[in-house]
Each structure stands twice: as C-alpha cells, then as structure tokens.
Chains A and B, each alone.
Chain A
Amino acid sequence: MQFMLLFSRQGKLRLQKWYVPLSDKERKKISRDLVQTILARKPKMCSFLEWRDLKIVYKRYASLYFCCAVEDQDNELITLEIIHRYVELLDKYFGSVCELDIIFNFEKAYFILDEFLLGGEAQETSKKNVLKAIEQADLLQEVSQTPKIFT
C-alpha cells in the first residue's frame, strides 16, 4: 500500500498515513486531488478506480471515506477487506466508532493502524491479537500515568 487517507464528506482529512517517502507539498497535492476525485463519484459506482499510476480502493462508512492507494499488482478485494478490518478494530476499541472519535482521539487511530498495518502491509490479521496489543499498551499508560485533572 502506498498511502491511506480518511476524509469526511466535506473533504476534511481525518487521518493520513503515508507508506512512501513524499515531500509535504506532494502529499498535500495528492490529498487534494484524490479527495476531489473520490467525492465526485456517485454512490453506486464501483470501489476501484485507476488514478495516476495507482489503483485506488475506497469505501464510505457513514460520514467517512476510507481510501487506500495500492500498486498495480496488489489485490483490490483484499484491500477492501483491510479497510473493513480497520473499521472493525476502531469499532471494537471505541465502542460504536463514529467520526468524532477519530477526530478527538486521532493519535489512537494512528496507533491502532500501526498495530494492524506496517510499512503498507498487513502485519497482524487476527482482530483479537491487535486489540490485545493495544490494550496492553493502554494498561501501561494507566500504570505509569500520574493522573492530572487540570491541564
């Protein structure tokens, strides 16, 4: 996978994970262009399209578009399921995840993603194992955390 973008229907980027080295300017340009292209697509169209020299796999979940860019030889259907698995993970972790969760806990979204995908490839495909890893990390937090109420 080359990158994954999550964006709202107004085109606001909620998460961007880049698996290839690109300059900031290029990233911004790609995000803008791709978001426009996908938002322009109608609901019944297929989940795949060719864009520049990449294949784009995308799916909308409620108000969020999940969009992955994969290479020519990658399997589109399995990428769709990667997206679904990620949504499942978020859902399990946050309990009925919605866009607000991802906005306010964006760093968690990144952490969960890192446990699931690394370097653009699926690392752990067992839902249980991924969640276990996250929970362990959370436990560590709570142990070492001196609670602060006032910021």
Chain B
Amino acid sequence: MPAVSKGDGMRGLAVFISDIRNCKSKEAEIKRINKELANIRSKFKGDKALDGYSKKKYVCKLLFIFLLGHDIDFGHMEAVNLLSSNKYTEKQIGYLFISVLVNSNSELIRLINNAIKNDLSSRNPTFMCLALHCIANVGSREMAEAFASEIPRILVAGDTMDSVKQSAALCLLRLYKTSPDLVLMGEWTSRVVHLLNDQHMGVVTAAISLITCLSQKNPDEFKTCVSLAVSRLSRIVSSASTDLQDYTYYFVPAPWLSCKLLRLLQCYPPPEDGAVKGRLVECLETILNKAQEPPKSKKVQHSNAKNAILFEAISLIIHYDSEPNLLVRACNQLGQFLQHRETNLRYLALESMCTLASSEFSHEAVKTHIETVINALKTERDVSVRQRAADLLYAMCDRSNAKQIVAEMLSYLETADYSIREEMVLKVAILAEKYAVDYSWYVDTILNLIRIAGDYVSEEVWYRVIQIVINRDDVQGYAAKTVFEALQAPACHENMVKVGGYILGEFGNLIAGDPRSSPLVQFNLLHSKFHLCSVPTRALLLSAYIKFINLFPETKATIQEVLRCDSQIRNSDVELQQRAVEYLKLSSIASTDVLATVLEEMPPFPERESSILAKLKKKKGPGAVSVTELEDNKREGGELNGGGDRGPDTAAMAASNASTPSPSADLLGIRSAAPVGAPPASTGSLLVDVFSEAGPAAPSAAVNDDGFLSSAPPSEDPAPPLSEADELLNKFVCKNNGVLFENQLLQIGIKSEYRQNLGRMYLFYGNKTSVQFASFTTTVSCPGDLQSHILFVPLCSETKPSNRITQWKAITSSLSP
C-alpha cells in the first residue's frame, strides 16, 4: 500500500498519479497532462515565490510526466533551486530531477556544480552522499572537470564516513569510465588499494569495482591488490556462515564480494609469489568442493549465489589456463550442470564451456560431452540455450569430430531461428573448410548449406567455395558433377545458380563426356534458370555462356542465338546489355586461339585469410572466433588454402563502379599473370587509381572496370606491336579512359573528361620497373592548328620515383572546340 506515512506523501502528486491512471484513453491522458503542465508553468512563472514544499511537489510531478514518456522542457531552474534548500527531501527531489533530465545548458551546469560543491564540503554525510550520487548518476564531463580531483581526496581521507567512502568510490568509477583523462593517478592510488583491507565490507565492495576498472588501464599501479584480494577471498571462503552476519546472503558468505574479488583477479596473470598462489589455488579448490556438497537451503537464491561464485571461479581458472587439475575439475563441474534441471544453469554451463574449449588442457575433456551438447541442440525448448549449444559445438570442433558436428549443425540449421541463421551459415562454412580432409565433403557441405539456408549464405561463403574449387584440381570434376545434379532440383536457390554457373563455366568440360551432362544439356539447364535470376546472377550466367562457347564450340550457334536476342542485347540493364553485346562480338570475331586465351581457365587464387572469418568476427565481435584463431596460430596457415580475397574486393569495387563482379573481370584475363618486373598489385592499382570513378582503390585484384577488350594481356607480350597500339587508340573513340600504351617499362594511361567545348585529358605514366626513371620528360605534339587550341600543362616532371605505384600527370585542356 502506498507509504504515505513515511515522511511526506505529497498528496497532490498522489492525486495526479491516480488521475492519470484513471484516464481511459491516451487522448484523455495527454489532456490531463497538458492541463497539469499548464498549471505548473503558471505556478513557476507566478508572482509570489513558491515555498519549498510546493516546488518540490511540482518538480516531482514534472519528473513523473517525463518518466511516462513525455518531453519536458522546463523546470530545470526550479529543480536547481531545490538543490540549495537545506531540507533533505527537497534536495533529494532536486537531485533526482537533474539526474534524470540531463540538461546541457551551461549556466545550469554551473549552478548545479556549485550546489554539489557546497554539499560535498558540508561535512554532512547524508548531503555528501546525495551529491556523490548525483555525480555518479550524471557523470558528465563538466562534472568530471569540476570534481575529479576532489573525490579521490574524499575517498582516502581518514575522517570520511564509511557510507560516504562507498559512494565516493563508485562515483569516481563512473567519472573514470566517462572521462578517463581527467582522473589522474596520484598518491591516492596506493591508499585505494588498501581499502581492500577495510573492516567495512560495504567499503570493500565498492572499492573493488573501482580498483578492477582502474587496474585494467594501469595494471602496474595497482598490482599490490592481488595479494590483498587473495587473502580477503580466502577469509571469506573459509568463513562459517555466521561470521559475516549481515553480509551473508541465504547462507552464502558475501557472494557479491567474492564474485568481485574473483573478477579483480582476472585482470592479472596468476600470482608469482608461491604462497599467494598456493592460497588462491586452495580457495578455488574449496569453491569447487562446496559445489559438490548438499545445499544448505532449498531456496533458489542460495543456489544462485553459490553458483555465481562457482562460475566466476571457473572463469578465473580458465583465464589462468595453467592448472590442469583445476581445469579438468571445472570441466567436469560444468558437465554436470549441462544436465541440470534448471535451464539457467544449463545455459551458463554451455556458455562457460565455450571458453573452456579453447584451452589446450581441457579441450579433450570438453569433447567428451559432445553427445550431451548435441542432445541439447536438438531438444532444448529455449532458443537461447540452443544457440549456446551451437556455439559450443563450434568451439569444440576439431579434426576428430568435424564431420559429426557439421552434420548436426546443418540439420539444426533447417529449423533454426531466422535471426541466427546467417551466423550459423558462416560458422558451418568455416568449420567445413578448416577440417576438410576430403574436399568433396567440403563441396557437399557448402552446397547443402546453400540448399538449406540459401538466403543467408552471404557472398563470402560462395566466393570461398569457388576459390577452393579452382585451387584444387582434384575436386573440380566432383564439384562440376555435384552442382549439375543440384541444379536439376526444381526449386533451386539463386546462390546455387551462381555457384553452378561459375563452376560449369570453368569445369563443365570435365563432365561433358557423359551424355546426361553434355554441353547442350548443361547450357539448357543453366538457361532454364536464367529468367528467374536477379541481374548480377544473370551477368554471371552470361559469362558462363561465353566460356561455354570456348569450351564447347558445338554450342556456339545456340548460345549466340541467345545472346543475339533482343532481351539480351537490348536489355535495360546496362551491365547485361554490355556483356551480351561484347560476348556476342567476341564469339564472332575472335579466332579460336584468341578465344581460348581470353577465356582461359581461372588461375589459382593467392593464399589469403578467409574473408568469412573476418565477416564472422565483425558480426560477433572478437570473442567468437577466438577458437579458430587459436588453432590458426598453432597451425601457421598450413590448412587454409586458396584464400584469395579477390571476391569481396572486386565486389566492393564493383559496387562502387557499377561494373562486373570478379568472374567477368577475370574472364578478360587482363591481369591474370604477373606483369614482368613488377608485382601484380602495383600495376593493378595503377590501373585502378586511374580508372576508378568513385570507389576505393582495391589493394590487389585490380579490375579493369571499363571492361573493354584488349587483344592480349599486356603481361604476356612485353612490347605490344604497333598494331595493337592502334587498336588501343581506337578504343578512345568511344571511351574516355583506358591504357594508351604499355610495355615492360612503362604504362601510359589516359583519362579524359569532356564537356561542351572544354576538354581535359590526364595522362598517367606508370613506372613498372623497380628502378627509378631519371630525366623523364614527356612531349606532346599537337598536330596542326590544334596547337593553338590546346593548353599543355605539365604537372610534375623531373625524375620519377622508383616506387612502382606512383604516377604523375600532365594536363591538357582545350580552350575552344
């Protein structure tokens, strides 16, 4: 019942609240509120000064209205006025108001800080606490500036009361969290550490939180706390339940304090001092032992408190990762919890085991529980528990149980919650790749993944499978066969079409011998999905078609027919149209040799870190992939293969340049092999720098975004014959950008812009060698009367640095048509 008898009841407030509750509709409520707001406004503006009680009441009403969810734009001044009252309740309400409705008006802030300062120096502990609470609740930078030096003094002063010390400690913590630069370490730090020995448990409780946070940023400054913490902890753990009196919670001695001490110890490595370490180990063993004892009370609070300490102790054991005996015991304890009646404990056990799985001492012990975890995955009714089980399976996966775990995760995926599917897909993909001994299993797994959760298979996943298939000769035939079969399913996910299209385009020849998968059959299969697909997929399919023409000349007529039809060459999408037109032309004019060279099989991708891992990290935060990373570090990159990062990079550029994704760009084979005398990256980036219109220059894998054809990859032909130069020149009839000339030493690119009568051409000279060009000059000869119309401005000449990437430009601009 309403405690009207406790202090003052503020009848007016109670009446107002009742009114609001009695409102039958939202409109009525708003009406009542507006009426009250008007009333309060007039009272505040009124001629006669309000007395403290009324002010307090109105400010409280305003607060109530605000907490209901309405905006309040006045009352701050009155609240600040209340602060200077010497009536406790008025101060209290004033502080509450300004803590909840934080205002950034500097005048008000100054007044507030003043009031706080007065209260802090008042020597009245209750007022001091009020002020400290306010600072802790607001924690603004202005407050930090004003009080960051004062509060440590209060904290360690001998005559400060215990309750004030507690508040000061946590207040300082809040200020440190929001403005760490304003809280300077000083002589108070050593005194703060000694608060751990204080008789008053409340002070210790508050101080520990402060020390924990500070020691994370300044470990050396506070490292004396470790031994103090250990001795405090062992005193608590070995105490009888009557020792600590009011700090015993349902027969558990000081659970909050114990947990905080254990947390503090997790900020430091295991203590070096043998005695301290011994005591700590003893403590931990006692805690583990107590877990096995029968409970002193049936109440859930007792078991929660006891288990809270247990879980924190296990976290500490995992953090130290150095006592195999303790680790195994911890693992066994968690194993027991895995089958506990209480869902909470099962959840926490699964969560804890995840971290345990990454320790080498306990990894094997964790694996013994695999059946229980799989069972949890299948039978738990709570989705958060199921998700934890999936996380644990991921963490405990290794070579011995990979197949089993991946299979379980796949079947879980079929019924999993939509919100977690993408993460699951990434994890399955990572596991499948990491532990694949037999790559045909890997291919199967990924294709299954696409079949089950196609929508959530992000690009990184299917790029990866393609990279791997390309890099591994032994699995190419199998891949081709499998995608072929998969595509025959009546309802096929678009990602499957992408993968299938690409793989058949590259390796369709491997299964072409079988009449069931003859070239024409393959083509028809792909084309049957064509109209169902989105634009990027269709683009990919078109590339696959041109590859077919190369691989299977007998299909040339059919495919050309398809390319020729209006829906392709007059397609409203620029990309598709361009591809159709160009491929059609390519297939008609290029000789078979040329075609074969241009459409040569994709070379292996360079080894790079899996982008899937990066994506998972981004999604989940650093904790999630610690396991695989740990294993990676142990295995020095021997496992990962074919991890080219081209896919996402080119995709990024493609996004920015609205041009082709990797398959098509690669198709043209422009930079498939490293150009002579320079690493691929440089030339690539040279081109990209020049030609990328908007997007970022990707480090490797340059794409010649214009997609224009050149008759031979420049790399393979050191000095292109003049005819090719002409050809290159001809391009500029319809293109503004491109490579003008290229040989072993030099690449000249051009970029031009034209608008009405003004034109501007940039010439880029790229040094492909690793030596410096000296005395590099350019001359531009302008024929005839063009001379008078062209302004030639060399931007920088002289020596050209040997760094392969730099370029310099000369600008010419014409002044008249």
Contacts and interface: CB of A to CB of B under 8 A. Distances in A.
A114 B67 CA distance: 17
B202 interface: yes
A26 interface: no
A127 B250 CA distance: 12
A145 B52 CA distance: 10
B384 A46 contact: yes
Given A13-B67, A108-B3, A48 B623 contact: no
B343 interface: yes
B301 interface: yes
A97 B380 CA distance: 35
Contact of B126 (A44, A126, A137): A137
B8 interface: yes
A63 interface: no
A14 to B, nearest CB: 9
A75 B621 contact: no
A118 B171 CA distance: 7
B126 A122 contact: no
Contacts of A133: 129, 163
A146 B52 CA distance: 10
Interface string A91-123: 001110000110111111011001000111111
A125 B60 CA distance: 29
B173 A121 contact: yes
Given A126-B246, A151-B12, A46 B347 contact: yes
B427 interface: no
B305 A81 contact: yes
A126 B245 CA distance: 9
A141 B89 contact: yes
A100 B4 CA distance: 12
B48 interface: no
Nearest to B177: A119
Contacts of A100: 1-2
A105 B8 CA distance: 11
Given A78-B305, A126-B201, A146 B53 contact: yes
A70 to B, nearest CB: 12
B311 A119 contact: no
B173 A114 contact: no
Nearest to B57: A151
Contacts of B88: 137, 140-141, 144
Contact of B166 (A24, A45, A81, A123): A123
A69 to B, nearest CB: 15
Interface in A27-59: 28, 44-50, 53
B385 interface: yes
Interface residues of B, number: 80
Contacts of B257: 125
B312 A75 contact: yes
B133 interface: yes
Given A125-B205, A133-B163, A151-B10, A72 B3 contact: no
A44 B381 contact: yes
B205 A48 contact: no
Nearest to B89: A141
A147 B8 contact: yes
A104 to B, nearest CB: 5
B344 A48 contact: yes
A121 B17 CA distance: 31
Given A16-B67, A77-B348, A104 B206 contact: no
Contacts of A107: 60, 63, 92-93, 96
B414 interface: no
Interface of B: prevailing SS: helix
B421 to A, nearest CB: 15
Interface in B623-649: 623
A151 B588 CA distance: 95
Interface in B256-305: 256-257, 259-260, 263, 301, 304-305
A45 to B, nearest CB: 4
Given A118-B171, A141-B8, A106 B67 contact: yes
Contact of B139 (A49, A101, A119): A119
> Most A CB atoms within 10 A — which of B12, B15, B88?
B88
B363 interface: no
A138 B170 contact: no
Interface string B393-405: 0000000000000
B11 A151 contact: yes
Given A103-B21, A123-B202, A141 B623 contact: no
Interface residues of A, number: 65
B69 A123 contact: no
A77 B163 contact: no
Contacts of A81: 249, 255-256, 301, 304-305, 308
B306 to A, nearest CB: 9
Contact of B133 (A13, A45, A48, A118): A118
B664 interface: no
Contacts of A84: 301, 304
Contacts of A138: 6-7
B170 A48 contact: no
B382 interface: yes
Contact of A13 (B69, B96, B260, B311): B69
Contacts of B123: none
Contact of B384 (A21, A44, A48): A48
Nearest to A32: B69
A128 B387 CA distance: 41
B72 to A, nearest CB: 10
A140 B6 CA distance: 11
A87 B305 CA distance: 16
Contact of A101 (B1, B254, B384): B1
Contacts of A95: 1, 3
Interface string B117-143: 000000000100100110011011000
B797 interface: no
B64 interface: yes
B570 interface: no
Contact of B308 (A47, A78, A128, A151): A78
B307 A77 contact: yes
A49 B384 CA distance: 6
Contact of A125 (B139, B247, B621): B247
Contacts of A72: 621, 623
Contacts of B311: 75, 77
Nearest to A46: B343
Nearest to A147: B8
Given A81-B304, A141-B8, A144-B88, A129 B246 contact: yes
A28 B257 CA distance: 33
Interface string B52-96: 011001001001100101010000000000000011110011001
Contacts of A108: 3, 6
B209 interface: yes
Contacts of A142: 7-8
Contacts of A93: 3, 6
11 contacts: A78-B256, A93-B6, A95-B3, A101-B1, A118-B136, A122-B205, A123-B202, A124-B166, A128-B246, A140-B89, A146-B53
Given A140-B88, A142-B7, 8 more contacts: A72-B623, A78-B304, A107-B60, A118-B166, A121-B173, A122-B205, A125-B247, A144-B88
- A-B pairs with lowest CB-CB distance, top 6: A151-B12, A141-B7, A77-B308, A119-B174, A46-B343, A118-B170
